[in-house]
Every structure is written in structure tokens, then in C-alpha cells.
Amino acid sequence: MAKIRLTTAQAAIRFLKNQHVARDGREGRFFAGCFGIFGHGNVAGIGQALQENPELLYYQARNEQAMVHTAAAYAKMRNRLSTFVCTTSIGPGATNMVTAAAGATINRLPVLLLPGDIFARRNVAPVLQQLEQPYSQDLSVNDAFKPVSRYWDRINRPDQLITALPEAMRVLTSPVETGAVTLALPQDVQAEAFDYPEALFEKRTWTISRPRPDETLLKTAAQWIRASRAPLIIAGGGVIYSEATEALARFADRTGIPVAETQAGKGSLHYDNPLSLGAMGVTGTPGANITARETDLVIGIGTRYSDFTTASKTAFQNARVRFININIAGFDAHKQAALPIVADARAALEDLSETLEGHHVPAEHRARAEQFNRQWDAEVSRLYNLEHGPPISQGEVIGAVNQVSDPQDVVLCAAGSLPGDLHKLWRTQDPKGYHLEYGYSCMGYEIAGGLGVKMAAPDREVYVMVGDGSYLMMANEIVTSIQERHKLNIVLVNNHGFSSIGGLSQSVGSGGFGTRYRYRNAKTGQLDGDLLPVDLAANAKSLGAHVIQAADLPSLTAALQEARQTDVTTVIVIETDPEERVPGYESWWDVPVAEVSEMASVQKARAEYEKGRGREQHLL
Ligand SMILES: Cc1ncc(C[n+]2csc(CCOP(=O)(O)OP(=O)(O)O)c2C)c(N)n1
Ligand SMILES: [Mg+2]
């Protein structure tokens, strides 16, 4: 067998640049490039190998967590058919990725992480940034990636790569298993040479299949659907990743079954499809939540049933409710004791459509859904045009962004009060037009994630909607967006702190404690002094962004229009009223309130909480 002598790092990069993915006959490279921050743990290993292999283009980031968010967002935008490699030094550079690795794994998005690691040879230990333990030398900070990775390995000898790399690819390209994959690379091993078999570096194409449903289970599912008086589809991210949105629209239209969407599933239907009930669950619409409460049959497609979707298991109150789950992952398909259709979403919808030929739900069920759809649209219009303030309401900001953006543009968000408001209010017109990281809801994802979306879809305008709290946590990838000339439209919603957690704190009887950005007050000793003098506009400008400050709805709309004309990342700063919130509709979320307290407000909140908990169900 022909051999080629390469370092471990060179072999890894040479392998990775030759990996392709195919689905439905369309093929492309799996890795769009490699993000990295160099230190002594990777500069002479992976860094050198990247320099020698410019086909796997190197991208610089400001923060290791951010670059993994960028990779995950890119993968999400590409429906998991492509992603980035992320390389770091050892120690803090490596562990900075742990948070975003968890985010990728929770959201089922592929990212390949190559953290540098301590010397395998050990003779010079402890090296700079090494965590020592008296009980073992077979341990480093990179072991912290184990629980947040779908596949984890440490390459202690160059030849271990030969078996590790294909395993990494198998997991990354599997829609069932995908998430963060970590290959920890000791810094000495990265530079060691080995005679690798040349076959390792031949082009490989990983085919993503569309497994079809089991026939017996499909027949049972069809019987259940025929027997149901008021079925409801819950569309999750799997619908979009599988590119099943058209199949879903046809299925809904033929059968008359209404569709509610999770955060990851929003965009499965065009917002004005008459059978669209909009958002489901805690941040859902009245139509979706009332239908869910009464339904006798839930058809969950590509959803992992987070507590936001199930309203902490209070959403389904019909004593006879049953579940059919269409999911590529058996793990999710079996949730809620469902009839598990373990299959690709598109394939399953096609097969189910055929099996149900001619079936239609009772006409009044369809008519009711269509009425909910119209009523909700009127409520959205009301909240878009509240004429509050200034400071204006967050709903009005969302309305302005929605109205200025084109149908194929992308809105992106992750944490704070914006995700819930967007889930309810954003009028989605394209399956990839709504990008919420709400599996981990990680503050700091927004700008880094926006960059990933723009890299995946340079022809679309990307609207990053970010709160001041998230912005202050991680705004740094503005610099990368400017470096790479990937223009972002960043709408920075300033309400001087945490409106979301502030509201939550009020609802649990704590009055917003610790959620405002205010000076420590000499009189009270608490953080309830004057507002902090942070100049967010100046901050964004200092990073190289074009900045526009808006004060009211007309100036916000003008700023958004101006931003469309620029080709440099633009930050629009708008102040909103933190107390003018979009309400909740017909739902509940389990956030435990102190069982005992001397505070009357907490005792009252606890009594309310217990009522809510009483509605939680075991779905068996
Ligand atoms: C990394 C991280 N830390 C903490 C939280 C908990 N958390 C959720 S929302 C939020 C406040 C967000 O503030 P901001 O971005 O200003 O949005 P707002 O609540 O004002 O809408 C916090 C602290 C989180 N989701 N992520
Ligand atoms: Mg805020």
C-alpha cells in the first residue's frame, strides 16, 4: 500500500479537506474551512498544516467560543450538510469552546473541534496551562468536552488518526448522532511524522440517506390520524433540516391538519398559510396553545419536545391525547410514549400522504385553525403598531425589522426576551428566514452566529437581533465580520439590562433583583442606583462597524433602510421600554419558586406556581 509521510496535523487537515457529503444526488464539501486561534498548543502543528493546505481556508476569530457558534450557525443554515473545523491552543483556548460545543450538541448541529492538548510524551510536564491531578496523568482540561461531545477522542499516537477520523465523520454526517465532535490533539503529537496510507486521503463522499418509515407503524399512524377529531402537527427543526417544508405544506393542505411550530421549526410553513397556527408552547400563539390543549392527536415532526414546546408538560390536557412522532432519531421518536416513526421527515410525510389519500379532518377543525391564523395576524399587526413611548416597545422593533427585510432575508437571535417575541411575532416567509438558537439559548451566540449565517448565505441580508446583555457578553465577532467583509445588520436593543430575567424575577416575586444595569447605590447598598453610562454605539463604532442610533419608530425604519444600502457591518442601536412586554398566551413555564420565604410577594408567587404545577402531566 502506498504511503505518505506527514505530521499528524498535516494528515488531519489533508483528510478533512477531502471529505464530501451528498444528499438527493447533490454533493458538496463538508468543511467550508477552519476557524482558529493560535497558541503554543497548535501554532506549529495544525497551524503549520493549514498553511500548507490553503484549500481548507483558515479563518481567524476573536474568541474560541464565538468561532464554534459561527460554525454551528453555518451548519444550521446549510441544513447540516456543511460546517467548519475549529482549532485552538491548549488550556483556556480549548476550554473556551466547551460552552459552544454544548450548544452545538444540544441543537444537533455538526462542528469539528480540534483542541490542542498537553504533551503525550509527558517528560516536560507540567507544561504551560496544564491541569495536574495527583491521581492520574491520563487527564487534561479537554476531558471536559466529553459530556458535550457526540464523539470524543484523544490522539496520543499519529496512527490513531487513521481510525479516529472516519469515526468523527460518521458522527458528524449522521442526522441521528450529529453534534460536537472533539479530537484532542496533544501538541507534541501534532508535529510528529508517520507513514500514512495514501488511501486515507482519497476523496470520500458521505451519503445522507432518507430512511423510510416501517410499513406496519405507518399503517397504524394512518389509522390514528383517520380516527382523530382534532389532530395537530408540531413542526420542529427536523422539518427544515430534512427540507421537508413543501411536503409538509402539501400534507397539511390535503388533510386539513393545522401546524404549530417550535423555535427550530419556525419557517416550516409560510406565516400566512391558512393552516399555520404559528408558534407553539410557552412563547406560542393562542391558536397553537388552545389547539394543543384540546387535541386528541399530536403529530410531532422533527421535534425534541423541549419544555418550551410542551409548556413544561402542561400543553396537552385532553385525557385521551396520543402522539405520533416522526423523527430520524429513535431517541426523540419515542418521547411522550409516541407511536415512533423513525424516518426522514420528508420521506415519512410523502408516505403518510399516500397512505392517507382522500382523508380530511372534520371541516370545523380546519375552519377553526384558519380563524386562529387570521386572528393572530391581527394581533401581530397590533403589536407591530403599538405606538408606545419612546422608548418604543420591542414588538415595534421586530415589526420594523420584519417590514424592511426581504422574504429571503434571515433574522437571527438566541437569548433574552427577543426569542420569545420573535417566535410569536416574526412573519416568516422562507424556511431559512428564521434562525433561533433556542436549544441552549446562549447569550453571545447572536453576532458570532450571524457571521456563520452570512458565510453560508452571502446573498441574503442577515438581521442579528441582540439585547444589550448579550451584546456586552460577546460582540467581538463584529471584527471578524469586517475582516471577512461579511456584512451583518445588527439591531441592538438597549433596555439597560435583562428585560427577560427581570420579568421572570417579577413573576417569581423577586421584583427584578439583580437584572438592571445600574450603579451600586450608596444609600441602599444595592445595584439600584442610576443607569450605567455605557455607550453601546461608541463601543460598536470602535470595533469598526457603521453605527446608527435610532430613537423612535420612524428613525428606526430609516436606519434599517440605510443599513440595506451599506456593505459594512452596521449596528443600529435602539432603546426600548423594558416594561412594555409582549404578553404570554395560554401557556405556562415551570420555573420553581421558593417553597418558603419571608417575602409576601414570593409566597404569593409560590401559590400561583403550585397551581401551574398541578397541570403538569406524565405523558405515558
Ligand atoms: C451565557 C448565558 N448566561 C446567562 C443566561 C441567562 N439569561 C437568559 S436571558 C438573560 C438576559 C439577556 O439580556 P439581554 O440580552 O439584554 O436581553 P433582554 O432580556 O433585555 O431582552 C440572561 C442573563 C443565558 N441564557 N446565557
Ligand atoms: Mg437587555
pLDDT tens digit string along 425-469?
Answer: 999 999 999 999 999 999 999 999 999 999 999 999 999 999 999
Closest ligand 1 atom to Cα of 442: 26
Residue owning grid cell 411522550 = 336
pLDDT score at 50 = 98
pLDDT score at 165 = 98
Mutate to test the pocket of ligand 1, among 417, 498, 582 (most ligand atoms within 8 A of CB): 498
Confidence band of 195 (pLDDT split at 50, 70, 90): very high
What 3-state DSSP class applies to 505?
helix
CB atoms within 10 A of CB 599: 13
Confidence band of 361 (pLDDT split at 50, 70, 90): very high
Confidence band of 268 (pLDDT split at 50, 70, 90): very high
Cα–Cα distance, 26 to 607 (Å, whole number): 56
Mutate to test the pocket of ligand 1, among 282, 470, 507 (most ligand atoms within 8 A of CB): 470
Burial of 294 (0-12, 13-18, 19+ CB in 10 A): middle
- Mean pLDDT for the stretch of residues 361-378: 98
pLDDT score at 497 = 97
pLDDT score at 569 = 98
Write down the mean pLDDT value for the chain. 98
- This prediction has a pTM of 0.98
pLDDT score at 288 = 98
Cβ(95)–Cβ(472) below 8 Å: no
Q: How far is the CA of 560 from the centre of ligand 1 (A)?
A: 24
Q: How far are the Cα atoms of 70, 393, 396, 539 from residue 542, in angstroms, in the given order?
A: 22, 28, 28, 5
- Mean pLDDT for the stretch of residues 532-539: 97
Residues 6+ apart with CB under 8 A from 135: none
- Mean pLDDT for the stretch of residues 268-287: 98
- Mean pLDDT for the stretch of residues 198-204: 98
Residues 6+ apart with CB under 8 A from 212: 343, 344, 347, 348, 351
pLDDT score at 343 = 98
Confidence band of 148 (pLDDT split at 50, 70, 90): very high
Residues 6+ apart with CB under 8 A from 611: none
Nearest bound ligand to CA 471? 1
Mutate to test the pocket of ligand 1, among 501, 516, 517 (most ligand atoms within 8 A of CB): 501
pLDDT score at 454 = 98
pLDDT score at 495 = 98
Nearest bound ligand to CA 437? 1
| Cell matching residue 384 | 407591530
Write out the residues surrounding ion ligand 2, Cβ under 5 A: 467-469, 495
pLDDT score at 90 = 97
Q: What does the buried/exposed string (b/e) look like for 15-45 if buried means 16 or more CB atoms within 10 Å of the residue's CB? A: bbbbbbbbbeeeeebbbbbbbbbbbbbbbbb
| Cell matching residue 123 | 517528560
Cα–Cα distance, 482 to 484 (Å, whole number): 5
- Mean pLDDT for the stretch of residues 128-157: 98
What 3-state DSSP class applies to 412?
strand
Q: How far is the CA of 493 from the centre of ligand 2 (A)?
A: 7
Q: How far is the CA of 23 from the centre of ligand 1 (A)?
A: 37
Cβ(418)–Cβ(465) below 8 Å: yes
Residue owning grid cell 458535550 = 148
Total residue length of the chain: 620
- Mean pLDDT for the stretch of residues 221-241: 98
Name the helix (H) or strand (E) containing 413: strand 410-413
Q: How far is the CA of 12 from the centre of ligand 1 (A)?
A: 38
| Cell matching residue 349 | 410525510
Name the pairing type of β-strands 434-436 and 151-154.
unpaired
Which region, left, alpha or beta, applies to residue 512 given φ > 0 means left and ψ of -120 to 50 means alpha?
left
Ligand 1 residue neighbourhood (C-beta within 6 Å):
415-418, 441-444, 467-470, 495, 498-501
The sheet that has 462-467: what strands, in order across it? 434-436, 410-413, 462-467, 489-494, 570-575, 546-550
pLDDT score at 440 = 98
CA atoms within 13 A on the CB side of 382: 9
Residues 6+ apart with CB under 8 A from 544: 478, 479, 482, 568, 569
- For residue range 33-85, list pLDDT tens digits in order: 999 999 999 999 999 999 999 999 999 999 999 999 999 999 999 999 999 99
Alpha helix stretches (DSSP H) within 125-205 = 161-172, 187-191
pLDDT score at 540 = 98
- Mean pLDDT for the stretch of residues 309-333: 98
Q: How far is the CA of 383 from the centre of ligand 2 (A)?
A: 19
Q: How far is the CA of 444 from the centre of ligand 1 (A)?
A: 9
Mutate to test the pocket of ligand 1, among 443, 499, 532 (most ligand atoms within 8 A of CB): 443
With the C-alpha atoms ordered 276, 279, 284, 288, is the resulting torsion angle positive or negative?
positive
